[in-house]
């Protein structure tokens, strides 16, 4: 792959009503050739309620498409770390 996808729309997780915790949720996602998140998976989570909020947010993110050497948009699997600091 020549051009990696970059986030162009980020949605912050809604942690309203979730008890305090600090850490990072690691998520793997599949992106289609338009940059839309099609599948997500928790690689390393913190707690179910926090992980669910992070997944809901990530599913709304949009990316520039990944592109091959021929400059054709291609589907991509990408990992991302979501920092969490609920006070």
Q: At 28, is the secondary structure helix, strand, or coil?
A: strand
Q: pLDDT per residue over 31-73, tens digit each?
A: 988 999 999 999 999 999 999 999 999 999 999 988 887 888 8
User: Cα–Cα distance between 54 and 75 in angstroms, integer?
Assistant: 22
pLDDT at residue 2 tops 80:
no
pLDDT > 70 fraction of the chain, expressed in percent and rounded: 98
Structural domains in the chain, CATH included, are 7-86 (3.30.1150.10)
pLDDT at residue 75 tops 90:
no
Q: How confident is the model at residue 18 (pLDDT cuts 50, 70, 90)?
A: very high
- What pTM did the predictor assign? 0.84
């Amino acid at each position: 792959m020549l051009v990696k996808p970059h986030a162009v729309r980020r949605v912050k997780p809604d942690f309203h009503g979730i008890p305090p915790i600090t850490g990072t949720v690691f998520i793997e996602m599949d992106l289609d050739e338009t940059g839309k998140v099609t599948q997500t998976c928790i690689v390393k989570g913190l707690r179910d309620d926090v992980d669910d909020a992070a997944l809901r947010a990530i599913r709304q993110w949009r990316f520039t498409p990944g592109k091959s050497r021929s400059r054709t948009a291609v589907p991509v699997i990408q990992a991302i770390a979501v920092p969490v600091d609920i006070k």
